[in-house]
Amino acid sequence: MFSSVLIANRGEIACRIARTAKRLGLRTVAVYSSADKDAPHVHACDEAHLIGPAPASESYLSIERILEVAKRTGADCIHPGYGFLSERSEFAQACADAGIVFVGPPPSAIQAMGLKDRAKALMEQAGVPVVPGFHGEMQDPKFLKSKAYEIGYPVLIKAVAGGGGKGMRRVDKHVEFDAALEGATREASRSFGDARVLIEKYVTAPRHVEIQVFADQYGNVIHLGERDCSLQRRHQKVIEEAPAPGMTREIRAAMGKAAVEAARAVGYVGAGTVEFIADGSTGLRPDGFWFMEMNTRLQVEHPVTEMITGIDLVAWQFRIASGEKLPLSQDDVKLDGHAVEARLYAEDPERNFLPAIGPLVALEFPAMDGVRIDAGVVAGGTVTPFYDPMLAKLIAHAPTRDKALDLLHTALTRTRIAGVRSNLAFLAALSVASEFRAGHFDTGFIDRHLAALGAVPQGIDAGAAAAGVTALLAQPAQQCDASPWDATDGFQLGGPREVALPVSVDGERLVAQISYGQDAEIRVEHTLAADDARAFLADGTAYVLRAGRQTVVRIADVAAMGAVDHAGGGAVMAPMHGRVLSVLVATGDVVHKGQRLAVIEAMKMEHTLTAPFDGTVGEIAVEADKQVQDGAVIMTIAPQELNEGKA
């Protein structure tokens, strides 16, 4: 076994790897960017070293800087976690050249599975079923469009490199292909340095089922069962579970055999995941699944496998990388109960799941039997725009699926996160959705049930707003002297006092009706009870949590109430902090409602801004490759009727 490890990652996975490494007696070395100098993973390790500024390209993706720290600290091995450099064959090779063990597969296996087109061709040769499509070298847009027509819509455009939904677009109509291809290739080039794509048939009612495989250096390969990752949005997994609903021993054996053969075909070593797409319209079948891709690393959702097998997969990674044989044979693998994982993200489901940044004013997780929390942030920290917006994972394990989902739901309802917006309420609703609980779901489930899951604008929660105003007014005033004229309790001799107070609730300007009683009690008039609301105060702001949903309340600046509203009159604003990738129109252009105006990148995802109505483009305030703040004016659109009026 090794004596030390450098963890080339951040967030919850770096903390999780450090826990196992320390249990095995390894000295742990963390690396961090300037944005992460106080991050939990820095404190979770025995020592930590700065490797560059906030952008990942200058820190966590710098092979040279990471290897320099590894050599300087005498690390025996490097664990890449997932994301960043974990699937870069050049990183694995650089580690080998430096005499440092890469805790993962050999570079040749990463290369073989790193490009989806070559991987599919290799799987066909190995007899593993693959999805029909075009996996060739030709990348001419007209040719690809013709292939899509031949395959038949709907189709998926997928980057040949990388994963995580980057460079992936579903296309339902021939006329939509060009724009989808442009977006996929641009995102693929920026994310993976490779703009090439493949085209494959989109499976109706698809289920995403993956097999955890493990292989040692002596030719032994086994699988540890499956995980169902069908609950997705934007091709990103949201809730994962094991075993997969509807799975039988026969289907598991067939899928597991295919996954093992896939690993053997590339000479795999270590932990890997073979992902399959299954036709969920008729239920899982031994002849109804197809190879999608292989992730040559640990998966985000690996805890559900750990919970039902009792195996520490990271410990196995270290042991296999150090030259040990697999601890178990296939017949020794036993599955116990059911596990389900929910990914807690800093994002706003009511605004199309836009990534969110900001302070973590409060973060509280419940301590419950059968519930595991893998977190990479703590209260008092800040969510920045530089990295993936996942905050934590909540994993529940119980004897049955229903009990595991009940346990997960309880854990979610007892979790508190304030400051930055999150998908907490959305996850809680998803965990009790009746069709999901009944096992009737596929990868399109979330998109079909957005309203029922609360992932559409909900309007202002009046009760939560009232609770926020009450909490703000109840704060002790900071006073410079003891003058009675500075009192803020609303006391007057003539009985209760009624006051109209301007407030801001989730950015909307409102007026709160305040009643000050003779006992100095503050009453805020509202029509909804808010006994279950809890307010967290920071910097003159109340972050009110109610049923997992956050309402942000501030006492408005009266002087600013009459100021000109720059966001009015047809302004198109940045929905989040990010970088402008492209501006698709020019001043004077006539645009139609829904037309694409600009593309912004935030937290590794693209967001297209569209025209709110028919009109003419006025001033454009940004240009490509520039950073913009949340709420910044991108451009103005003069409404069509206004233009007609001027004529």
What is the spatial distance between Cα 3 and Cα 121, in angstroms, rounded to a whole number? 40
What type of residue sits at position 409? H
What type of residue sits at position 37? K
Going by C-alpha positions, the residue among 514, 506, 468, 464 that lies closest to residue 489 is 514
Beta-strand pair 47-52/27-33: parallel
* Type and span of the H or E element at 167: none
Q: Is 297 a catalytic residue?
A: yes
Say which DSSP state 46 is in: S
The tokens describing 135, both together, are 């996996």
What is the spatial distance between Cα 631 and Cα 504, in angstroms, rounded to a whole number? 15
Q: Across the chain, how many H-helices and E-strands are there? A: 18, 36
Catalytic position from the list 88, 297, 343, 416: 297
Three-state DSSP state, 513 = strand
Going by C-alpha positions, the residue among 138, 130, 198, 212 that lies closest to residue 162 is 198
Three-state DSSP state, 504 = strand
Strand order in the sheet with 47-52: 47-52, 27-33, 4-7, 77-79, 101-102
What are the Cα distances from residue 244, in Å, to 103, 128, 209?
28, 20, 7
State the Cα angle at 619 between 613 and 622, rounded to 5°: 100
What are the Cα distances from residue 99, in Å, to 59, 171, 455, 538, 542?
22, 46, 50, 50, 53
Going by C-alpha positions, the residue among 507, 533, 506, 536 that lies closest to residue 380 is 536
Cβ 42 vs Cβ 65: under 8 Å: no
State the Cα angle at 33 between 46 and 12, rounded to 5°: 60
The tokens describing 621, both together, are 């305030």
Catalytic positions, please? 297
